[in-house]
Amino acid sequence: MPAKRPRKSGLTGIELLMAVNAIQTLLDKSREEQALNKGDQELEDSFNDETEHQQLEGILKMLRSRVDGPQSYSFSSMTQDHLDKMDISASGLLELKPDAISRGVKKDVLGADSLWSSDMLCRHLQFLEGLVPRNVYSSTPLVGIRLTDYHQNEGAARLWIKAFFYRVAHMIPTGSNVVLSVEQVVPSVTVSDTSAHTLSGYIDWTAMVMPPQKAHLFLRNPILQHLRNDVSALFISEAKGPDQLLGNHVQQTIGEMLACARTTG
C-alpha cells in the first residue's frame, strides 16, 4: 500500500500570517510568565516546559516557511499589503479627454438601424427605472449595516450593466464581432516574471472584439489563454458587497486586471 502524501495547509497567505502572529504571541507570553515566576520553584516548574516551547517554535518555523514561500492569492483576498509586496502603487488619476463628450455624441449614429441603437438604449434604461428598484432593504444584520439601512442590489445593477454591453455590441464596424464573457475563469498566473506568487479567480465581465471566425471558436471554447494580438479585450470588475465606497474595491480590481493582462500576454 503506497504511503500517504502529507496534506498541505489550505490556509491563504493572510490566514497563515495571522496564525504565525498568534502562535508567536502565545510563545512570547509563556516565556514572559516563566521569567516573572523565576524564583518561585512551584510556579517555575509549572511554566518551565521547554518541550512545549520547542514544539511551538517548530510549528512557527514550518508556518513561516510557507508564509515566506510562494503564495497563491485569490482576487477576493487582495489587500493593500499584497500590492505593496508586488511593488504596485498609484501613479495618477484617470481623466476624461477634452473632446470626450463630442466624440460620444458622434458615436450615437453607430448601429442606428440595429436593435440596440442609441435610442433603444435610452428607452431601455427608462424602462428599467420604472421596473426594477436599485436598492434593497437589509432585513438581516450585515457587517457595517444597520437593520434600517438600504444598500445597492447587485442583481439589479447588472441589468443596467448588461444594457450598455448590448449597445456596444452594435457599435462595432463591419468585419468584427463582439463576444461578452460573463464570470470568465482566469487561470493561476504568476504576478510577474520574477515572482513565484500566483493570482487566480474569475473576472466578472470580459468584452472582446475579434474576427468572426475567432469569435465563433471562442464562443464554443471560452479560454482566456487563446486570445492573441488580433483580439481587443476589455476586462470589467464589479464592486461586490454592501461596501459602496469604490476606493475599497481597488485592490481586488488591480489583482484581477494584472492576472488578466498576464494571461492574455
Q: What is the pLDDT averaged over residues 71-85?
A: 86
The predicted pLDDT at position 230 comes to 79
Question: With 50 as the cut, is the pLDDT of residue 132 above it?
Answer: yes
Maximum Cα interatomic distance, the chain, rounded to a whole number of Å: 93
- Structure pTM? 0.66
Q: Which of the 8 DSSP states describes residue 142?
A: B
Tell me, what's the pLDDT at 257?
94
Most confident of 131-135, 218-222, 228-232: 218-222
Instruction: Give the span between the Cα atoms of 79 and 252, in whole angstroms.
Output: 7
Partners of 178 in the beta sheet?
209
pLDDT tens-digit series, residues 15-69: 777 887 888 888 888 888 777 766 666 655 555 566 777 888 888 777 776 666 6
C-alpha cell at 46: 509549572
